[in-house]
Amino acid sequence: MVASRDDIVLECRDLGHWFGSNKVLNGINLQISRGQIVALVGPSGSGKSTLLRAILGTHPPRTGEVLMDGASYRSPHRDRGIVYQRYSLLPFLTAQQNVAFGLKLDQTSLAFRCFQFWEWAKLKTEHMDQAAELLDRVGLSAAKDQYPSELSGGMRQRVAIAQALIMRPKLLLLDEPFGALDEATREDLQVMLLKLYSENVEARAKGEQPPYTILIVTHELNEALYVSDRVLGLSQYHHGGSEGAAIVYDKAAPVYRPHAPKELSDFVAQKEELLKAVFSDEVIQHHSEYVSFWEDREKLTVDA
Ligand SMILES: Nc1ncnc2c1ncn2[C@@H]1O[C@H](COP(=O)(O)OP(=O)(O)O)[C@@H](O)[C@H]1O
Ligand SMILES: [Mg+2]
């Protein structure tokens, strides 16, 4: 699947952010095209969550701008969803009701639910059907009637992701979503992301818009390289780093099919490159040295 600059969903233009005298982000320029799964890595405290909040719209940047489908914005919208490491589901609702809940809030009012009872009953069935479909997508159809207290951590994160996806966001942000899970569960959830990606590939093949565009923050480099088709590195270690972190790495990552064997040896060279380019405070370089995703893409397109 070739990402194209013709279909940019999200753009950050010269974005900067600081807290008091703590300069966090500086000169962030970024374009994400529809259907990409982009991993964002960087040292702890480099501003990954701050960047995600700016993109979400809850904490707009101090300088520069964020655009979705070409329109600048400074507030949250259902076009952008987020899932955090620990997502609290509503304990008194089943998995399916939790997933349907966002649609209920978005599409109905209390008055509507009280006074147009039959219309609401019909709509509610539609919402529950959609929720069941989403739970199926994230591999959780068997647990749809269970309450959060009956679900494992991995299952709860699947519900949280279904809950975000039911709003059909143009961009889904994931901030260390699997950070609290054990290794085996974590791998199952990574495969779930690969399945979403393969739906994108199928949609493209049919000439349709790929349904999922995801930006995932993770501190696990194998995870970043495995689940994404592109890896971004955010780091304060570059010339001018005292002014804040910048994107110092932007390259394609190997694309896996959901059940293809994962070859960790495939990642070794790129992991080393990431450690050097993004995580090392000794190798201070100009921050464009490893930023070549779009250039590489354009070269590929010309060669093909
Ligand atoms: N609400 C806040 N008020 C003050 N400083 C903050 C706030 N949020 C984050 N920071 C600071 O901004 C920097 C980046 O934080 P963060 O975006 O959470 O980094 P990361 O997610 O990469 O670990 C850190 O120095 C952190 O202390
Ligand atoms: Mg963070």
- Residue pLDDT, tens place only, 73-123: 999 999 999 999 887 799 999 999 999 998 888 788 888 888 888 888 888
pLDDT at 286: 72
Tell how far CA 154 is from the center of its chain: 17
pTM of the model: 0.93
pLDDT-derived band at 264, boundaries 50, 70, 90: confident
Q: What percent of the chain has pLDDT over 70?
A: 96
Interatomic CA distance for residues 27 and 16, integer angstroms: 6
Least confident window among 139-148, 227-236, 258-267: 258-267
Q: Which of 87, 99, 94 is nearest to 157 (CA)?
A: 87
Q: Is the CB of 19 under 6 A from ligand 1?
A: yes
Does the pLDDT at position 201 exceed 90? yes
Query: Which ligand sits nearest to residue 44's alpha carbon?
Result: 1
Of 49, 55, 176, 235, the one to substitute when testing ligand 1's pocket (max ligand atoms within 8 A of C-beta) is 49
pLDDT-derived band at 3, boundaries 50, 70, 90: low
Average pLDDT of the chain, as a whole number: 91
Residue 145 has what DSSP assignment? T
- Give tens-digit pLDDT for 46-56: 999 999 999 99
Domain 5-79+170-303: top CATH class: alpha beta
Q: Which of 64, 34, 70, 48 is nearest to 171 (CA)?
A: 34
Residue 219 has what DSSP assignment? S
Query: Which ligand sits nearest to residue 51's alpha carbon?
Result: 1
What is the 3-state secondary structure of 62-99?
CEEEEEECCEEECCCCCCEEEECCCCCCCCCCCHHHHH
pLDDT at 5: 75
Give 1 Cα–ligand 2 centroid separation in angstroms. 29
Smallest CA separation from ligand 1 atom 10, residue: 19
Give 49 Cα–ligand 2 centroid separation in angstroms. 4
Q: Which of 298, 304, 302, 303 is nearest to 3 (CA)?
A: 298
Give 180 Cα–ligand 2 centroid separation in angstroms. 13
Going from N- to C-terminal start, the domains of the chain cover 5-79+170-303, 90-168
Does the pLDDT at position 146 exceed 70? yes
Q: Is the CB of 49 under 6 A from ligand 1?
A: yes
Interatomic CA distance for residues 140 and 144, integer angstroms: 7
